[in-house]
Amino acid sequence: MSNRRLDWAIAAGVAASLVVAGHPATAPGYALLALSGLVLAARRTAPVAVLAATGLLALGYQATGADVPVVAFLFAVYSTMRAGHRVVTLAGSVLMLATLPLAALVSPRDLTTYEAFAQTRDVLQIAWLIAAAAAGEALRQAERRADEAERTREETARRRAGEERLHIARELHDSLTHQISVIKLQAEVAVHLAQKRGEDVPESLLVIRDAGREAARELRATLEALRDDDKNPPHGINDVPGLVERARSTGLDARLTIEGSHDDVPAAVERTAYRIVQESLTNIARHSAAVSAQVHLDYRPDALIVRVDDDGEPVAGNPLPGVGLLGMRERVTALGGHLQAAPRSEGGFRVRAELPVVQP
């Protein structure tokens, strides 16, 4: 049974029990009894409103002469405590205890003050209030601990998966680097021997040599992050200007603008910001015919905004995101941020990441 159906079943049951047990002197009293139970259907979505409604309705049917415990109000106390509204629950309970005798005094049964207070003890005892509030608080704490345990398990699983992927990537890096180095070395030796003998060097051999050099260079640049350890401290925001300068040395008109101060930026956010700029500039150099690129860092009280724009030609069709873009998205998501990577309306491409500086 869903929570919604369960709430309606409880509300209907409480309403029926109040109508059967209560004997108000007027017909409106029965309506107040029934409505007092039915409003419990909204106790999950609006616990404070339900607490106020059940309290007022209980005062109403007590004033009509119905001598029945305020069961619906106790359910509401449980629900508000479970939702974490401790102060509201305490204030509502105290107010209810103080006003119930007044409702009994104005009822048509013509009670004395002593009898009114005695009836209040019968329909709402302090022990009932304490039990209902304690049950709600106990369940709230249990749910919170369960959520924390689940979150811890998920974080542990993600960390272990990341460590395993890093291990695999390092092994792959070592293997590919070795094989490509062998290919490049053999091609260079063959070219050298052919030139030494005065023979014509086959074009395919030159292509293999140049491709080997380029592959080795790109592999080292792409997988540089795999070598970050205690001996090689990870890069941060202070290293971003160096990235821009290296991009300018390749002929790209790269500019960096910075707004705000990064004194309180966590180290994990700094590393991610650096990687986003690094990967974005690398993608511009490899896949775009861009002439210029703009790197913008905006430090805000609650987030660091990283934006990299270029004026390159858009890629034809709808290409799938590469490993670099997927890696950026994973890093940003792990920090609870958002990443946007798409062509700009005015031309070129934009990578924009919003990284929270207050980590959960």
Per-residue pLDDT tens digits for 21-53? 776 666 787 888 888 888 988 888 899 999 999
235-239 long-range Cβ contacts below 8 angstroms, 24+ apart:
235/271, 235/274, 235/275, 235/278, 236/267, 236/270, 236/271, 236/273, 236/274, 237/262, 237/265, 237/270, 237/273, 237/274, 237/297, 239/274
This prediction's pTM: 0.45
Would you give the DSSP letter of residue 40?
Answer: G
The pLDDT value given to residue 317 = 46
Q: How far is CA 283 from the centre of its chain?
A: 28
Percent of the chain with pLDDT over 90: 14
Contact partners, residue 316, CB within 8 Å, separation at least 6: none
Tens-place pLDDT, residues 155-202: 777 778 777 776 676 666 666 766 777 787 788 888 888 888 888 878
Q: How far is CA 256 from the centre of its chain?
A: 30
99 has which bridge partners? Answer: none
The pLDDT value given to residue 119 = 73
Q: Residue 280 in contact with residue 353, Cβ under 8 Å?
A: no
Lowest-pLDDT choice from 20-29, 56-65, 201-210: 20-29
The pLDDT value given to residue 318 = 45
Distances (CA, A) of 342 to 56, 237, 296, 307, 349: 56, 24, 16, 12, 6
